Structure 1
Amino acid sequence: MQQPAQRSIKLGIQAFLNGDNQQAYEQFRQAIELAPEHPDGWINMAILHRRAGQLGEAHAFINKAYELRPDSAAVLSNMGSVLGDMYRHDEALEFHKRAVTASPDNQGMGRNHLQALREAGQFEGFLAGCEAYLKRHPDDTSVRWFKAQALFYLQRFPEAWRAIEERWQIANIRGALPTDISWWQGEPLDGRSILVVDEQGFGDSILCSRYIPLLAEQGANVTLLCRPALHDLFKDLPANIVGELAENQPFECAAIIHRFFKSSPDDVGGDPTVSQSFDYATAMMSLPGWFKANLTEAPPASPPVHKDELLPPSLQKPLDEAGEALKVGIVWAGNPEFKRNAQRSAPLSHFADLATVPGVQLFSLQKGPAEAGLESLDDPGAVTPLGLHLGNFTQTAAVIEQLDLIIMTDTSVAHLAGALNKPVWNLLDTCPYWIYGLTGEATGWYPSMRLFRQTQPGDWAPVFASVKSALTALAEEKSG
């Protein structure tokens, strides 16, 4: 590739990393004009469109690169990734296999192949692939995390919990385990103090909050360091709730534990109730493992979560105006930063169709960028938007208490509804969160939750056909 085209590629990649997709597009377009016979411009244009969710365009660009260099490992791997996002998993796997064969020492391409096995639902192959990969690259901690995922899918829980402790070494969970801290590993806690640090998604924290009372029952003095959004929700737990853990820091809890472990009141906002030293420290997602959680034994019940007593008129009035209708809350998308958000989210149009069921009124509890989709509905009155007015989890909990049912894809609100013991229908893709397993309509973790599952990756139509049928029966039952 000539130097001007190389420069355009370099500038385009830098713009892409800086979040300037328009500038990246212009630079990659220029690279293609300068060197149309070289695959790099086409590859990067495919990556840009894939990340934007424009899969048709991404496929066209990577196809052009494939025509130019059908033996290129980079082309093959990116073709596999695009096809995987299009749920063409059999084809995707073939391209990833070819990429790994062409470049067996490329760790990124190896990881792409492993993720393709997971998305295709080939969990035995996923585990075997992880183990084979780790023999060649034992220091790749990302793949050790993949191995933990595979063990969860295969319900090999003791091994999975041991493997998940290796999450501390993953690059995007900054801060390795400090060696001068006593990490709790199930020891007796009578009269001891323990620091528990919130981590990962809000749903993970709500799920694992059920273990805080168990620590207190053992006689522990529990301090919970968590993000501000969870403070009020968890205020009824038997723990000191402390800390202004930043919203963007849930994966940095190892380093944060180190800072707080031998803390003074000044370190925690002058709060004199916080121990100046702790006997033990742990993190939220370590607790299920030390309590030997699995899918065959009933987990501890969710503790009460705090909810607002009064709602502002912007939330209460629409609920009152629904009268005797079956009031159904909906959420169709999760955190856009979550890597599998596209797979676990469902089209809003499928949810809006549920409004055609007689006697049903839909209320959107959706927050974030996906909420804008309500503006493009054919019937704006099909869904009453509440998300804009929901200020925190305790308000959301209070709204859920007044609804008859929540129907949603798997996000933190599903965990919140389950913790409130409210009826919730959780719509799952083919690689669900570990507590749901791979089969069945129920989960012992949330007795009020019913699971509706995809049978084919990316195919939500049969799921919503089942949901609509069940919702129709429920509405008829309510109307008498």
Structure 2
Amino acid sequence: MSPPGDRLETATQHHRAGRYAEAVSLYEAMLADGQGGNDIRARLASALRSDGRPAEALEIYAALEPELLGDVDFWFNRGNALAALGRHAEADTCFIRAIEIDPERTYPILNRAIARAHLGDSAGAIALYRRVLAIEPDHRVATHNLANLLADRGELEGATLLLRDAVKRWPDLAEAHYNLGLILLRRGDYARGAAEYEWRWQTPDFFARPDYGDIAVWDGRPFPEKRLVVHAEQGLGDTIQFAKLLGLLKSLGGDVILHVPEPLLPLLRSLPFDITVTSHHRPSEADFQIPLMSLIHRLKLTPGAIPAAPSYLAASPDRAAHWADRLNLNAAQPIIGLVWQGNPASPVDRGRSLTSAAELAPFANFEGVRLLALQRLDASRLEPAPTASGWRVRDLPFMLEHPGPDLDADGGVFMDTAAIMTRLDLVVSVCTAPLHLAGALGRPAIALLKAVPDWRWMMGTDTTPWYPTMSLERQASGEDFGPAIEKAVVRAREIFSRTR
């Protein structure tokens, strides 16, 4: 058996190097042999938490509490274990105890700021980050996190200053470059914002970059008699939006091949450009390659240079005729299509979706108008109804028709939705892929946007250069979606008064 000091040193080395399982084994062995007391138990709990076993760590912390009431690291690490389990209110209490013991120690203040942000207290988190920076002005995490919180609250000038300072002080901090890019794009500064946005691939939590082997990245210059592969990235809505730029790209020379996920093939093959759309590729088939959302950078676009074409995708005529007959879309009665929920698993879903379709009830007061859900729902969220399709959305105080659980079930993603949209008078949607689809089809549409939306909608405008037929209704800071929905109803009436 190794001397206690040797085993502790080895365990500590494993712990510091991130080899947590090895550290756990040694700490447990020492305790089993009667070597070490509360210090080793606390180290074991910390290693267990870092090894993804926070519940086990909390059992140890509960037993240690009477012995370590005045220990900063005990309360800090216990708070981290609680935070790992999503128990942020309890974690907050632990961080408060740690700060009370040592008010100048920055790491409990920092983690309390993170807990307050998780609890929705952005003002409290901002104050705590500022407290960290008052003690330690060069604290990188506090600087970056504070900037992001300010950006989330719409305080873009302060966020921009912080992130510009961050990329100067820590030029390799990819997250700072990326987040600065998002803010600059949101402010309409496409030139500098798009360049910073290129750092997205170097951030740890971003989508994996497609592997195109040794194919050179296109640098933005004309490419006559060459072949360029453009590969889709991120979400379906992103692909639909940025496909608009492929006509500009084609004007620069040679062949353009667009690689998209297979379910998008039928829809994207309706693009009016002389390009190839496929879901397969071979490393030898191109001279250059570029991610789709890098086109804004390589083409040196400004908001005013986005192609003004009102539509660039088309629905299948056969499907449009099928759905028009099935849903009785040829009647004179106006019809509004509604979408209220993005993908709840998406990291960008926070704040962009409605809690339920019930929030759209003000549209039910629109006399003489049919309401049709364009949200894909399974049969459990529908109920039989005396509607053209035989279905309506379940448990609503107003009639919201639904095409049925087979909507977009085959033939490619959004093919049915696109066909139905072509026969509607208006689409109202939160920020999700069907909203982009409505814009790409050139349909009259109203976007319901949170107070600080995704960068592509910029700030302070009620129109977007990406989709000329779309209007934007935004939350005010601190509001729910209610006022924006009421304004959307008024705007819908204005649209109908002009078109019918």
What TM-score, normalized by structure 1, do the two folds share?
0.77
Q: Find the aligned partners of 1:10 and 1:364 in 2 and give their Cα distance.
A: 50
The alpha-carbon deviation at position 452 of structure 1 amounts to 0.4
- How far 1:196 sits from its partner (Å)? 1.0
CA distance in structure 1 between the partners assigned to 2:92 and 2:322 by the alignment: 50
**How far, CA to CA, are the matches of 1:149 and 1:130 in structure 2?**
11
Query: 1:198 maps to what in 2?
Result: 232
Over aligned residue pairs, what C-alpha RMSD do you find?
3.7
- In the alignment, what sits opposite 1:143? 176
Q: Which residue in the other structure is 2:113 paired with?
A: 80
Does residue 208 in structure 1 map to residue 242 in structure 2? Answer: yes
What secondary structure, in the 3-state scheme, does the structure 2 residue paired with 1:445 have?
Answer: coil
Quick one: structure 1 residues 453 and 380, their matched pair in 2 at CA, closer, same or farther if it must change by over 3 Å? closer
Q: Distance in 2 between matches of 1:90 and 1:141?
A: 26
Counterparts of 1:396 and 1:414 in 2: how far apart (Å)? 11
CA distance in 2, matches of 1:387, 1:109: 47
TM-score normalised over the length of structure 2: 0.74
The equivalent of 2:160 in structure 1 is 127
Query: Are positions 1:185 and 2:203 aligned together?
Result: no
Aligned match of 2:353 in 328, 341, 345? 345
| Structure 1 match to 2:288 | 280
Aligned CA distance change for structure 1 residues 209 and 420 (closer, same or farther; 3 Å)? same
Question: Aligned pair in 2 of structure 1 residues 384, 32: CA closer, same or farther (>3 Å)?
Answer: farther
SS of 1:421 mapped into structure 2: coil
Q: Give the equivalent residue in structure 2 for 1:254.
A: none
Gaps of 5+ in 2: 1-37, 70-74, 383-391
- The residue aligned with 2:31 is none
Match of 2:460, SS? coil
8 A Cα contact 1:409 1:426, kept in partner: yes
Query: Counterparts of 1:99 and 1:402 in 2: how far apart (Å)?
Result: 56
Q: Paired residue for 2:8? A: none
Corresponding residue number in structure 1 for 2:432: 411
* Number of the residue aligned with 1:90: 123
Aligned to 1:394: 415
Corresponding residue for residue 52 of structure 1:
none
- 1:80 alignment partner AA: A
Match of 1:384 in 2: 402
What is residue 424 of structure 1 aligned with on the other side?
445
Residue in structure 1 matched with residue 265 of structure 2 by the alignment: 231
Secondary structure of residue in 2 paired with 1:196: strand
Distance 2:82 2:403 in 1: 36
CA contact (8 A) 1:153 1:438 kept: yes
Contact preservation (8 Å) 1:62, 1:75: no
What SS does the aligned partner of 2:303 have? coil
Structure-2 change in CA distance of 1:90 and 1:239 (3 Å): same
CA change 1:366–1:128 in 2 (3 A) is same
Give the aligned partner of residue 354 of structure 1. 363
- Which residue of structure 1 lines up, in the alignment, with residue 200 of structure 2? 167
Counterpart of 1:366 (choices 343, 368, 375) is 375
Q: Secondary structure at the match of 1:118?
A: helix
For residues 418-461 of structure 1, the C-alpha deviation after alignment (integer angstroms, 9 at most, x for no partner) is: 01110110011232233322112111221110000122055322
Please tell me the residue identity of whatever aligns with 2:175: S
Alignment match, 1:304: 312
Q: 2:223 is paired with a residue of what secondary structure?
A: coil
Find the aligned partners of 2:363 and 2:442 in 1 and give their Cα distance.
23
Asked whether the equivalents of residues 364 and 386 of structure 1 are also in contact (C-alpha less than 8 Å), the reply is no
**C-alpha separation between the residues in 2 aligned to 1:316 and 1:377?**
26
Higher mean Cα deviation, 319-328 or 430-439? 319-328
